[in-house]
Structure 1
Amino acid sequence: MSHLVRNTAALAVLACCACAAQAADWSDTSLSYRYGTKFAEPFNDNDITKNIVNLSHVSGYKYGKNFFSADLLMSSDLDPSAAGSNSGAHEAYVLYRNTLDLGKVTGNNFAYGPVRGMGVTVGFDFNSKTDAGYNSKKRMVVAGPTWMLDVPGFLDVSVLAIWESNAPYNTFTNQATPRYSYKTHAMLTGAWGIPFNIGIPLSFEGYANFITAKGDNEFGGGTAPETNIDMQIMYDISEKIGTPKNTFKIGIEYQYWKNKFGNSDHTNPGATARTPMVRAEYHF
């Protein structure tokens, strides 16, 4: 497990340094923790407990903005780390997005109706997981247009092309699968952070991904379209504990993930997850 933590930490530092090197006009870096007992994994009919630690960084620079996120997900033993193991699986998941604001790049005004601006987003995801059955080694590149909507806070909607591959290893059979590229497919995705106040300072935050089927998987089976919605209500407790605004937040989170990783839930236990969580964040 130690090499996974070291690699994740190194990538986090490098990405944050790269963001900072672009002379950010503003930035927000946060450490967060979330916990839930109803996580699900395909081909596993158990409710899985997970502890998740996250490092995130978002920053704006002259021509757009960066977003980086690194999750370390630690499962209970119902999602075992290897065949016959009594310890839970561990996963590192890293995501990066860069959005160029076309208005800032060209000097033209792209606002119309509810849209305040347009951009072009590129980025990547990758993961490494140690688990009994699949041991995912996902690699994914995305690119496409983004619309920035005129709301309090932000709401960005993108249509992205996805180029994805994986090279799993099955510890039950000791069978390694050569890296396999799925069919290029599409994702409609939205990310938001909208503040509101009902006597206490709250914010509605999250993302939603709607992903088309990606052709056959590496074993020759078909894949299904995915829906992954993760949303939270966060309460800024900073001033209550004597710290600057937006330093400490606590809240509740809910994730709905249908056909997880493209696995159809028709005959597959665990392919759809409905997961309530608690969440805490420290921003610096």
Structure 2
Amino acid sequence: MPLARTLLALSLLAAGLSAQAADWSDSSIGYRYGSKFAEPYNPQDISKNILNLTHASGYKYGTNFFNADLLLSDSKDPSSAGSKDGAHEVYVVYRHTLDLEKVSGSPFKFGPVRGLGVTAGFDFNTKTDAGYNSKKRMLVAGPTLMLDVPGFLNVSLLGLKESNAPYSTFSGTATPRYDYKFHWMLTAAWAIPFNVGIPLSFEGYANFIAAKGRDEFGGQTARETNVDMQLMYDLSGGKNTFKLGLEYQYWKNKFGNDSGGPAGKGAIAKTPMIRAEYHF
């Protein structure tokens, strides 16, 4: 099956990243669940089970981050027209940040900023559903400010080059790969530990994405806001840890679909979730 081959390839990639010489590394498998997910053009609340594989590491000149999500929807987001089976999706993110101080030997510290980097990477997804069947491909690159906080807080301005080649099961029409207009994303990612008698961490990301011109069907895209944050409790401590927590995602104009247009309420997600992670 294509999905099985994709998951095998991602597992091998994550293993390869772990095998590189690293100053530090953290890999995890996780699970999260919510019942208020949304998809554009679908007015119903959707339940999803999500499995994830994550790897982060630091080496002599910078850091790597890799995440692969397997998203399994319920029947309200069907796998095909008239099916009672839910859609399934794989979404992958990779980022590499080159630390300019480590490369040049000169510090880049000012105010609350402890370092300056250059980030590059990609997103891709494949989804099997009743309508769009996304095949997103996106390259990203831009500068990153590393702020001086416990844990980390990185803020980046990334240029995005995105394309898609969907297939409509309703019309039976495959759309040739379409390139959106070059656009920008202001993004932040963080993991900040704190202790109030129990070991907690506040983690997440926030993406503010400019409109990307017209879509492959001629419709005007909209600016996106996507904030995903979680409060996690470390139940075990040490390197091999088990974390449990609560997560919340707010996503307006999902994938550039205007929530005030035909995409409707499905283009806005307000999704509480439970989340569990095992780190090794």
Report how far residue 7 of structure 1 moved.
1.0
Aligned to 1:261: 255
Helix, strand or coil for the counterpart of 1:229? strand
Are residues 1:197 and 2:202 paired? no
Equivalent pair of 2:239/2:279 in contact (CA under 8 Å): no
Once residues 221 and 69 of structure 1 are traced to their aligned partners in structure 2, the CA distance between those partners, rounded to angstroms, is: 31
**CA distance in structure 2 between the partners assigned to 1:194 and 1:68 by the alignment:** 19
Query: Aligned match of 2:181 in 183, 200, 212?
Result: 183
Aligned-pair distance for 1:245?
5.5
2:267 corresponds to 1:271:
yes
State which of 137, 145, 148 in structure 2 corresponds to 1:150. Answer: 148
The unaligned stretches of length 5 or more in structure 2 are: none
Aligned length: 278
For residue 89 of structure 2, what is the aligned residue in structure 1? 91
Q: SS at 2:140's partner residue?
A: strand
| Residue number in structure 2 paired with 1:280 | 276
In the alignment, the residues of structure 2 paired with residue 118 and residue 281 of structure 1 have an alpha-carbon distance, to the nearest angstrom, of: 30
- In the TM superposition, what is the alpha-carbon distance from 1:66 to its structure 2 partner? 0.1
1:111-151 deviation line (CA, Å, top 9, x unaligned): 10000000000000000000000000000000000000000
2:270 alignment partner AA: R
Match runs of 1:135-146 below 5 Å: 135-146=133-144
Secondary structure in 1 matching 2:111:
coil
Q: Which residue of 2 aligns with 1:123?
A: 121
Alignment correspondent of 1:247: 241
Mark the runs of 5 or more structure 1 residues left unpaired by the alignment: none
Q: TM-score, normalised by structure 2?
A: 0.97
Residue 21 (structure 1) shift: 4.7
Tell me the alpha carbon deviations over residues 181-232 of structure 1, each in whole angstroms, 9 at most, x when there is no partner.
0000000000000001111100000000000000000001100000000000
Code of the residue aligned with 2:248 in structure 1: it is Y
Aligned residue number for residue 68 of structure 1? 66
Verify the 8 A CA contact 2:199 2:234 in the aligned structure 1: yes
Change (3 A) 1:107 1:118: same
Decide whether the 8 Å contact of 2:18 with 2:55 is kept in 1. no
Aligned to 1:50: 48
Instruction: Determine if contact 2:234/2:244 at 8 Å carries over to the other structure.
Output: yes
- Paired amino acid for 1:78: K
Counterpart of 1:3 in structure 2 is: 2
Supply the distance in 1 between the matched residues of 2:81 and 2:174 (Cα, whole angstroms): 15
Q: What SS does the aligned partner of 2:146 have?
A: strand
Q: Any conservation in 2 of the 1:12–1:70 contact (CA below 8 Å)?
A: no
Which string of whole-angstrom CA distances, capped at 9 and with x for unpartnered residues, describes residues 32-77 of structure 1? 0000000000000000000000000000000000000000000000
Pairing partner for 2:79 from 78, 81, 103: 81
Maintained 8 Å contact 1:236/1:245:
no
What CA distance in whole angstroms lies between the structure 2 residues aligned with 1:197 and 1:21?
A: 32
1:10 CA drift (Å): 1.3
Partners of 1:57 and 1:216 lie apart in 2 by 35
Tell me the amino acid that sits aligned with residue 106 of structure 1. Answer: S
Question: Aligned-pair distance for 1:246?
Answer: 5.8
Sort the Cα spacing of 1:16 and 1:97 in 2 relative to 1 into closer, same or farther, 3 A. farther
The amino acid of 1:176's aligned partner reads A
SS of corresponding position for 1:270: helix
Kept in 1, the 8 Å contact 2:253–2:267? The answer is: yes
Deviation track 1:63-116 (CA, whole Å, cap 9, x = no partner) reads 000000000000000000001111000000011000000000000010100000
Conserved? CA contact 1:189–1:210, under 8 Å: yes
CA contact (8 A) 1:65 1:98 kept: yes
Residue identity opposite 1:177 in structure 2: T
CA drift of 1:5 comes to: 3.0
2:213 is aligned to 215
2:8 alignment partner AA? A
Q: CA deviation at 1:13?
A: 1.6
Cα distance change on mapping 1:67 and 1:245 into 2, 3 Å:
closer
Considering only aligned residues, what root-mean-square deviation do their CA atoms show, in Å? Answer: 1.0
